[in-house]
């Protein structure tokens, strides 16, 4: 359900239900994207190629070429969500560290 429609739902339990459903769908979209992205790697692993004839099969596929960084295989929307989450996490860490320094180093 689009975010705009979610905001119009007055019943908090119903709204939370649909928010949770959206999160699950986003998670499955992420899994689906990763599976599609690495499927060539998996299929290629069944028929390894030794292109330089040194007796060692060469690693091939998009995942290997990316240095096993899976974020590049995700849809743009998911990449943006991850970037925002990272920023929020950094801010939370900075705030808590700063707070600890100003309150005598005691965590709260």
Residues 93-106: pLDDT tens digits?
A: 877 777 766 666 55
Quick one: 85 and 103 in the same domain? yes
Residues 13-52: pLDDT tens digits?
A: 998 999 899 888 888 887 887 787 777 777 766 767 777 8
What is the domain range of residue 24? 3-73
C-alpha 104 chain-centroid distance: 36
Domain count, the chain: 2
Q: What is the pTM of this model?
A: 0.43
Quick one: 97 and 62 in the same domain? no
Residue whose structure tokens are 């040194």: 54
Burial class (CB in 10 A: 0-12, 13-18, 19+), 38: buried
Contacts of 50 (CB under 8 A, 6+ apart): 56, 57, 58
Longest dimension (CA), the chain: 67
Quick one: 45 and 59 in the same domain? yes
């Amino acid at each position: 359900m689009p975010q705009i429609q979610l905001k119009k739902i007055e019943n908090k339990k119903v709204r939370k239900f649909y928010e949770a459903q959206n999160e699950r769908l986003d998670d499955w979209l992420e899994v689906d994207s990763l599976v599609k992205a690495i499927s060539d790697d998996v299929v290629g692993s069944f028929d390894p190629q030794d292109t330089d004839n040194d007796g060692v099969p060469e690693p091939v596929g998009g995942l290997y070429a990316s240095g096993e960084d899976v974020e590049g295989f995700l849809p743009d929307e998911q990449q943006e969500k991850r970037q925002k989450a990272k920023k929020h996490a950094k801010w939370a860490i900075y705030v808590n560290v700063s707070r600890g320094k100003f309150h005598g180093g005691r965590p709260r």
